[in-house]
Amino acid sequence: MSSIKRIAVFTSGGDAPGMNAAVRAVVRTAVYHDLHVYGIYRGYDGMVNGDIRRLEVGDVANIIQRGGTVLKTARSEAFRTPEGRKQAYETLLANDIDGVVAIGGNGTYTGADIFMKEYKIPFIGLPGTIDNDIYGTDYTIGFDTAINTSIEAVDKIRDTADSHNRLFFVEVMGRHAGFIALHTGIGSGAGAIFLPETETTIEELSETLRKSIKRKKLFNLVIVAEGNHNGDANEIARQIKEKNPDFDIKVTIIGHLQRGGSPTAMDRVLASRMGHSAVKALMRGEGGVALGIINDKITFTPFHDAITKTKNLNKDLVKMAEILAM
């Protein structure tokens, strides 16, 4: 028998498509097991300010297909302070919450880790971020939707790039990680990809471009990860233009388009599995861990490891992207 009776769920940090599917799975699994479940609104800010209410099965109807997060989200300043965390604890205490599911990225896990050292309420983290940069899981909730969105955008850009013989630099999100850029680049057949994890220089790209022209190869698409070492897409485009004044160059920044939209089937299933497993883990007495799926198996990583260890890009994929761009 589980001692857990009342759990809470919240979303925090940047929203990601599939967060709603995860919330739905948490609520329905909890209700199935006769637990009371509460939604905390606007992430840690809501925990600090007491913005919490009971959720029933019907409250999560018709949300599995919606992007964003119905629980809203925030990057909370108050929760960074001991006073804020004390207020958050009082909110949980006042509602008799004995377990929490926190859906978000590294910042969310860091908050949970600090809080759990101060107050003895178990948290289970679910990786909700388009960046896919969380250690301890193959994929994060929202990543698949984000790369499908950016690939669709790049396909459209390619049509106009081809028609005008223009070179496009397309910037994608990913903060300090290149997962979105790498997968967008491979999936859209880009000529080159600037990643935070590799050291491609402007000179190298210029050289590749010149060689392509000699071989009469159409090279019109470069994907730029926002966190790469050479600057943003505008800056890279400026430097390439300086070295190659005859090139017709354009820049597109996909930006927050990648964060919105209806989650893909992959994200809905991933989020549902994770939300469902999180409740079962709390009931078994787990806490202080980030839930992930590795090789199709549910896994748990201590928050400390999930926060401090880096999830590396697959080097074989980076090499493959170069070869296929020949």
Q: Which stretches of the chain bind ligand F6P, using CB under 6 A?
A: 14, 105, 129-131, 173-175, 226, 259
d(CA 109, CA 124): 9
Annotated active-site residue 296? The verdict is no
Nearer to ligand F6P, 38 or 303 (CB): 303
Nearer to ligand F6P, 151 or 283 (CB): 151
d(CA 9, CA 238): 46
Those residues with Cβ within 8 angstroms of residue 130's Cβ, 6 or more apart along the chain or in another chain: 14, 16, 17, 140, 142, 143, 145, 146, 173, 174, 180, 258, 259
CB of 133 to ligand F6P, least distance (A): 8
Nearer to ligand F6P, 6 or 176 (CB): 176
Nearer to ligand F6P, 50 or 260 (CB): 260
CB of 184 to ligand F6P, least distance (A): 12
* Beta strands 167-172; 221-225: pairing state: parallel
Start-to-end CA distance of the chain, whole Å, equals 60
Q: Which residues of 88-113 are buried (b: 16+ CB within 10 A; e: fewer)?
A: bbebbeebebbbbbbbbbbbbbbbbb
Tokens found for residue 320: 């493959």
Nearer to ligand F6P, 130 or 289 (CB): 130
d(CA 39, CA 7): 9
Nearer to ligand F6P, 104 or 191 (CB): 104
Catalytic residue among 15, 131, 144, 267: 131
Residue of 27, 33, 23, 45 lying closest to 102 (CA atoms): 23
CB of 13 to ligand F6P, least distance (A): 6
DSSP 209-254: HHHHHHTT----EEEEETT-TT--HHHHHHHHHHH-TT--EEEEE-
Tokens found for residue 7: 């759990």
d(CA 120, CA 266): 34
CB of 112 to ligand F6P, least distance (A): 17
CB of 175 to ligand F6P, least distance (A): 4
Nearer to ligand F6P, 91 or 132 (CB): 132
CB of 95 to ligand F6P, least distance (A): 29
CB of 140 to ligand F6P, least distance (A): 10
The helix-helix angle for 315-324 and 179-188 (nearest 10°) equals: 30
With vertex at residue 249, the alpha carbon angle to CA 243 and CA 254, rounded to the nearest 5 degrees, is 125
- Which residues are known to be catalytic? 131
